[in-house]
Amino acid sequence: MFERIVVGFDESEGSRDALALGKALAERLEAKLIVVGVVPSPTGGSLMPALPANAFTNLADQARKGVEAAASVLGAEARIVEASSAARGLEEMTEQMEGDLLVLGCAGTDEGTVRAGHKARVLMQGSPCAVALAPVGYRNSDSQLGRIGAAIDGSPESGHALEIAVEITGEGTVRLLSVATDFADAWGFWGATYALSELAEASKEATEKILDRAATSLPENVKAEKVLLDGIASVQIREHSADLDLLCVGSRGYGPVRRVLLGSVSSDLLRKVACPVVVVPRGTTG
């Protein structure tokens, strides 16, 4: 499923974390690794002035050397692309290279956690391939991608996330995470304690069935560890992420197929996750 993994690199600490995650995933999946750097277009754009010729040449040369050095260490292919923004350049190059997964780093959050910044969120509002985010400091961690989790809710999109988790796991155990809604937490009591408790119980039963169906769908060489959480989905999954080496989640259940599009749960989840995250695009069955 993942045959060509693209890593966005700009010599920042976050992009070095992305290199480490991209390398780990490429080795696990026996995939081709491509390191991509983006430089501003020399002609500028609607909101960006054109660069002087010598300034652009120096910038492009510096970027090329940095990308080639990083790629050489990993035995990866190196590419430089000109674009009006880093997000646009990475998206265009990933499509051109027929990449299956785009790996990015993070900044502006605590060590060991993921927070989707502006560039990541732009890419996750229409990316044609899955997008992975590496936690801050991941390059210094000793994660072995042993504990792989998939957030599932019975939708085709979460089913696709589970397929990705199974592929990355290989032969091992996938942790299935599903959340039963605590209606009192989600909506407030409004003087209807009994009705809300009945709804919560029904949600729990439905969630148990989702976990059972997902567990029976796994290949014989992959075991399931079912985890039923209770409360607000993004909060519960985020808290459980500290016990994972990688979390796979689906994007929202509507919008263009074969594209990543963050919904309310995945968007809130990516404010602070304690492990690498892979967000997969909608499949053709949504």
On whether the 4-280 domain is CATH 3.30.365.10, my answer is no
Residue 189 has pLDDT above 60, yes or no: no
- Which pLDDT does position 286 carry in this prediction? 35
| Residue from 73, 79, 67 nearest 10 by CA | 67
| 164 vs 261: CA distance, rounded Å | 17
Residue 158 identity (one-letter amino acid):
S
In sequence order, which residues have a C-beta less than 8 Å from that of residue 278 and are 6 or more positions away?
101, 130, 131, 132, 161, 164, 168, 246, 247, 248, 249
| Residue from 177, 182, 210 nearest 277 by CA | 177
Give 271's pLDDT tier (boundaries 50, 70, 90).
confident
- Which pLDDT does position 51 carry in this prediction? 57
Element (H, E) at 179: strand 172-180
- Which pLDDT does position 142 carry in this prediction? 85
Where do the domains of the chain lie? Answer: 4-280
Query: End-to-end CA distance of the chain, in Å?
Result: 18
- Which pLDDT does position 76 carry in this prediction? 97
Residue 4 has pLDDT above 70, yes or no: yes
| Residue from 51, 36, 38 nearest 6 by CA | 36
Summarize pLDDT for 149-184 with one digit per residue, the tens.
Answer: 999 988 888 899 999 999 999 989 999 999 987 544
Q: Are 74 and 19 in contact (CB under 8 A)?
A: yes
| 285 vs 160: CA distance, rounded Å | 10
Q: What is the mean pLDDT of residues 223-247?
A: 93
Summarize pLDDT for 49-67 with one digit per residue, the tens.
Answer: 555 667 667 778 888 999 9
For helices 156-169 and 13-29, the axis angle rounded to 10 degrees is 80
- Which pLDDT does position 257 carry in this prediction? 46
